[in-house]
Amino acid sequence: MSTDTAVRPASGYHRVIGAAASSAIGDGMRFAALPLLSTAVLHDAFQVSAVTAATTLPWLLFALPAGAYADRFERRLLMVLADLLRAAVLVLAVVLLAADRLTFWPLLTAAFLLGVGEVLFDCASFALLPSVVPEERLESANGRLFAVQTIGRDLLGQVVGGVLFTVGRAVPLLIDAVSFLVSAVLLRGIRGPAPDPESEPEPGSLAEKPRPRLLADIREGVAFVLRDPLLRALTVSAGVINAVYLGQIAVFVILVHDVLGLPDSAYGALLAAGAVGGVIGSTVASRLSTAVGRVPALVGGLATMGLAGLAVGATDRVWVVSAAYCATGFALMVWNVVAVSLRQTIIPDRMLGRATGVYRLFAWGTMPLGALVFGRVSASAGPRAAFALGGAITLLTCLPIAYALLKDSRVTDRRKTPEDAQ
């Protein structure tokens, strides 16, 4: 695919931002409303947890195939189809709810299909962005994209979704469906690059080679990431970070109730502090990376997350926990923006979808493990011990990632090398 800035219309990035904002607000409403809806219509703790798990299961099952499809087909079109799929699922769920037929299996299926759409959309979107934004503006573009997603999903969407659910159970689902349709309309106006011609057969050619099978595409993507020391280090680090982060989130409510002695309303306020930190981090990440360099930004982000975890583990003061959680959100978003931009810069375009699928498989696949491990630590030694453990693990991760970053010249050279472009 061409990376010439001449084929990057200025409106392309703004349409991606608009689509992301629309989807993020709708997703936030669904994240808040779906557990409430499950609890209201199922009345069974196991079934409610199964519906929640079904939304994340597709990342384990389909991250690699979705990444391969993002390299095989036009990414913009794949994102539109994912939006339409999710909108259709939500409308059907509302119809079943109105008919009093939204039982366990239909709700489980709907949650799973919404997760499938999310996997397809995300793998294609992270691969699409470098084709609509000049490389020198990639970090800034990613920062704005993460900020829009955080504000829409974690601040506005979840608050509005909970309120709208009290108005009517179907209201947040319908608005989420509309958000996906708005996203699809915006994306249709983008001049997306065509799939890699090297993997397309020549029309009418009798000697043409067939396109590689899906499994071959997936194997190529996995091998590409695993044999590159820098990509391997970034992927493993993302898995560790997400396992620690979700593990700490899983026991955070216990910390708020049992250690800090705060009411339920304070739990939401402390979560919002993390989201605010994330918004600030995504806004300044590009300027921070430019000012101090990618290596200090990435390693400093990891170190900040680790120190914040240790701080929470050593205190029962509300203001320290609030500040540490805000710092965690800030540092996590700096890491995300700089790491994702670095990956988009050094990975050749024809591999971006598959590399994203591999990255997301490791990054998201470790999250349930983190929740289980940190839950066990919290049960035996208390939530502060779980936070301290997470802080120590994160600090230890600084050493191998710093070594990989300092050893690779591509970290400071923002251009793809000729070898990468092959």
Per-residue pLDDT of the chain (422 residues; tens, 9 = 90+): 333 433 344 467 788 888 888 888 887 888 778 877 887 888 776 787 678 778 878 888 889 999 998 888 888 899 999 999 999 999 999 999 999 999 999 999 999 999 899 889 888 887 888 888 887 788 888 888 888 888 887 778 877 887 788 888 899 899 999 999 999 999 987 765 555 544 444 444 333 444 558 888 899 999 999 999 999 999 999 999 988 988 888 788 788 888 888 876 677 678 778 888 988 999 999 999 999 999 999 999 999 999 999 999 998 899 999 999 999 999 999 999 999 899 988 999 889 899 989 988 888 778 777 877 888 888 889 889 999 999 999 999 999 999 999 998 888 754 444 344 33
**CB of 285 closer than 8 Å to CB of 338:** yes
pLDDT of residue 227: 93
Distance, in Å, from the CA atom of 114 to the CA atom of 237, rounded to the nearest integer, reads 27
pLDDT of residue 40: 83
What is the b/e burial string over 388-418, where b = at least 16 CB atoms within 10 angstroms of the residue's CB? Answer: bbbbebbbebbeebbebbeebebbeeeebee
**CB of 143 closer than 8 Å to CB of 286:** yes
Residues 6 or more apart whose CB falls under 8 angstroms from that of 178 comprise 26, 87
Q: C-alpha angle 189/192/195, rounded to 5°?
A: 150
Distance, in Å, from the CA atom of 73 to the CA atom of 214, rounded to the nearest integer, reads 12
The amino acid present at 217, given as its one-letter code, is D
Work out the end-to-end distance of the chain between its first and last CA atoms, rounded to an integer number of angstroms.
12
Kind plus residue range of the DSSP H or E element containing 172: helix 171-188
Residues 6 or more apart whose CB falls under 8 angstroms from that of 345 comprise 130, 135, 138, 410, 414, 415, 416
Distance, in Å, from the CA atom of 256 to the CA atom of 267, rounded to the nearest integer, reads 6
pLDDT of residue 177: 94
Q: Tell me the H-state helices in 261-382.
A: 264-292, 294-313, 318-346, 352-365, 367-381
Question: What single string gives the DSSP state of each residue in 274-295?
Answer: HHHHHHHHHHHHHHHHHHH-HH
pTM of this structure: 0.76
The amino acid present at 275, given as its one-letter code, is A
How many Cα atoms within 13 Å fall on the side-chain side of residue 237? 30
